[in-house]
């Protein structure tokens, strides 16, 4: 029986909220205690097709083609204001849906608003160039919208990434179809609900809920999609690429990481400790840019790890609604995956400095809480140092030279983010130049709030860039015009 407080939410297609009659419903659960928050439609190929056709019709409509860039920007500014007006509700809903602490969800809401502000300011400044060719020819370029954009949203930062997707799509004049993760669709739906009164033409923004292998697969394979943006696992990213290739459609892939914090002996220890800790417990470590590897100079390792373990052991663990330091991981599936890596560490005799066990929280026995964990002296070739664990689990390896530090940092299939901790400017820049990753932070760490900072990866972390001006490359296409006079 459905709990009385669990509502059925609909898909948003062509300006209407709809629950397909034939659709089965998906339970959306609170990771904190396992209770059912809501039900959303199990959309599939049919709903995706309706949404894409609505987007195509709207994109080619006279209303949208004459919707000036100034007015797109104005609408985005208004959206930012509305997000802030609804901050309390969005914060609570993000915490209930994802499990993260309220304070972290509040930051996500502000970042969502800032995305709309940032791209609002860019909407009427998407410029072309004049190109000197030869006398008698005026040659220039125009950046035009790419068309119908499909966004497949991950479950760990749904509000942030939905806001990022919607804002840049509208700013560049595209129409969008979003497929939020089945586990955490509620803030994406709420975001659309709160900005709906702004008067965006019907069909320019559409949301279809459903499973990745059904709705997500249908979106990535749809022949009338012009660009696909996907954030998620490497294996699913491959499938998205394969589908897009059938239609000769470009993709932007953000596929996770195994990001190192590289700590030198001359670092500011207090700051390094603070950010190494924060970068692995943020959202219970369920972050593609998490600092999941500590690559540390051998001479300071024992002292540093001891202090880090002590700090971890002082963290409060519990439901996000109580704003503990560390909330639950998303689900039993996610918990079992993380626990499997910890069991592998035990099996292979790798020392667990702290954590490694499930944390039982009174009153939340159906939630999946895990003690933050440090795995010491992990061989660089071990699966624990190579694979994305996606939980509050930190591996530790040591180095003695700059060259060794760079080699270790680059020694995984991923290349998303890295942190460098040193007071030596020369060391910092030499190491930064040698790293194979999309973002490098020196004496700080964190990609989440960097609205203007291009974000994306090398190697299996994907390609293309979100955020900042670089994102405009994904959502526009260049037309060259040459006039002979």
Domain-wise residue ranges, the chain: 7-255+464-482, 260-453
- CA distance to 38, 116, 254, 440, 448, per residue, from 467 (Å): 31, 11, 12, 15, 10
CATH tag, 7-255+464-482: 3.40.605.10
Contact assessment for residue 422 and residue 264, using Cβ atoms and an 8 Å cutoff: yes
Instruction: Give 144's strand partners.
Output: 477
Which tens digits make up the pLDDT trace of 148-167? 999 999 999 999 999 999 99
Cβ contact 397:380 at 8 Å: yes
CA of 345: how far to CAs of 310, 375, 394, 405, in Å?
21, 8, 12, 23
Whether 5 shows a pLDDT value over 60: the answer reads no
d(CA 457, CA 464) in angstroms, rounded, equals: 8
CA distance 338 to 130: 53
pLDDT digits (tens, 9 = 90+) for 14-39: 999 999 877 799 999 999 999 999 99
Active site residues: 254
**How far is Cα 436 from Cα 446, in angstroms, rounded to an integer?**
17
Query: Model pTM?
Result: 0.96
CA-CA distance, 253 to 240, in Å (whole number)?
Answer: 9
How are beta strands 414-415 and 351-354 bridged, if at all? unpaired
Q: How far apart are CA 397 and CA 380, in angstroms?
A: 7
Q: What residue ranges in 219-313 does DSSP mark as E strands?
A: 227-231, 251-254, 260-263, 293-297
The 10 Å CB-count burial string (b at 16+, else e) for 255-267 is: bbbbbbbbbbeeb
Q: How far apart are CA 452 and CA 290, in angstroms?
A: 19
Write out pLDDT tens, residues 34-71.
999 999 999 999 999 999 999 999 999 999 999 999 99
pLDDT of residue 429: 98
Give residue for tokens 């659960």.
29
Name which of 294, 318, 311 is nearest 409 in CA terms.
294
Give the C-alpha separation, 112 to 16, whole Å.
23
447 has pLDDT over 70: no
CA–CA distance, 88 with 95 (Å, rounded to integer): 11
Per DSSP, the three-state class of 192 is helix
**CA distance linking residue 344 with residue 477, whole number of Å:** 47
How many Cβ atoms from other residues are within 10 Å of residue 166's Cβ?
27
Supply the pLDDT for residue 449: 64
User: Could you read off the pLDDT of 318-350 as tens digits, one per residue?
Assistant: 999 999 999 999 999 999 999 999 999 999 999
Which one, of 268, 194, 196, lies nearest residue 423 by Cα? Answer: 268
CA–chain centroid gap for 455, Å, is: 10
| Distance in angstroms (rounded) separating the CA atoms of residues 77 and 82 | 9
Listed in sequence order, the residues at least 6 apart from 392 whose beta carbon sits closer than 8 Å to its beta carbon are 280, 281, 284, 285, 326, 355, 370, 371, 372, 373
Write out the two tokens for 451: 């609205």
Average pLDDT of the chain? Answer: 96
CATH assignment, 260-453: 3.40.309.10
């Amino acid at each position: 029986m459905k709990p009385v407080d669990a509502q059925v939410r609909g898909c948003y297609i062509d300006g209407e909220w709809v629950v397909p009659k034939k659709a089965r419903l998906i339970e959306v659960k609170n990771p904190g205690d396992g209770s059912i928050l809501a039900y959303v439609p199990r959309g599939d190929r049919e709903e995706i097709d309706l949404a894409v056709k609505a987007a195509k019709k709207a994109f080619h409509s006279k209303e949208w083609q004459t919707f000036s860039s100034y007015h797109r920007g104005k609408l985005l500014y208004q959206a930012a204001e509305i997000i802030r007006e609804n901050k309390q509700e969005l914060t609570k809903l993000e915490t209930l849906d994802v499990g993260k602490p309220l304070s972290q969800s509040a930051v996500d809401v502000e970042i969502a608003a800032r995305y709309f502000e940032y791209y609002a300011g860019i909407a009427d400044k998407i410029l072309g160039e004049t190109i000197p060719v030869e006398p008698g020819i005026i040659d220039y370029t125009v950046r035009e919208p790419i068309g119908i954009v499909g966004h497949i949203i991950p479950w760990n930062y749904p509000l942030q990434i939905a806001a990022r997707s919607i804002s840049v799509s509208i700013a560049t004049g595209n129409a969008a179809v979003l497929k939020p993760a089945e586990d955490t669709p509620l803030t994406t739906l709420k975001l659309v609900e709160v900005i709906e009164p702004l008067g965006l033409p019907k069909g320019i923004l559409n949301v279809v809920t459903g499973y990745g292998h059904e709705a997500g697969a249908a979106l990535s394979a749809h022949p009338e999609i012009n660009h696909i943006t996907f954030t998620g696992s490497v294996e699913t990213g491959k499938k998205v690429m394969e589908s897009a290739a059938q239609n000769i459609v470009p993709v932007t892939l953000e596929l996770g990481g195994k990001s190192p914090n590289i700590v030198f002996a001359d670092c500011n220890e207090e700051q390094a400790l603070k950010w190494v800790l924060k970068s692995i417990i943020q959202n219970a470590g369920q972050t593609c840019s998490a600092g999941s590897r500590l690559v540390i100079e051998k001479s300071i390792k024992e002292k540093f790890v001891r202090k880090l373990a002590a700090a971890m052991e002082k963290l409060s663990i519990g439901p996000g609604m109580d704003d503990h330091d560390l909330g639950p991981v998303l689900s039993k599936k996610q918990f079992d995956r993380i626990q499997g890596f910890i069991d592998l560490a035990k099996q292979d005799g790798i020392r667990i400095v702290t954590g490694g066990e499930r944390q039982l929280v009174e009153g939340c026995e159906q939630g999946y809480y895990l003690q933050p964990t440090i795995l010491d002296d992990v061989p660089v070739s071990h699966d624990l140092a190579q694979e994305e664990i996606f939980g509050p689990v930190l591996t530790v390896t040591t180095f003695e030279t700059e060259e060794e530090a760079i080699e270790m940092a680059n020694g995984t299939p991923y290349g998303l983010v890295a942190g460098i901790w040193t007071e030596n400017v020369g060391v910092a820049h030499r190491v930064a130049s040698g790293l194979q990753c999309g973002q490098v932070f020196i004496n700080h760490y964190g990609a989440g709030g960097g609205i203007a900072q291009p974000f994306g990866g090398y190697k299996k972390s994907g390609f293309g860039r979100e955020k900042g001006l670089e994102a405009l490359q994904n959502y526009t296409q260049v037309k060259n015009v040459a006039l002979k006079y």
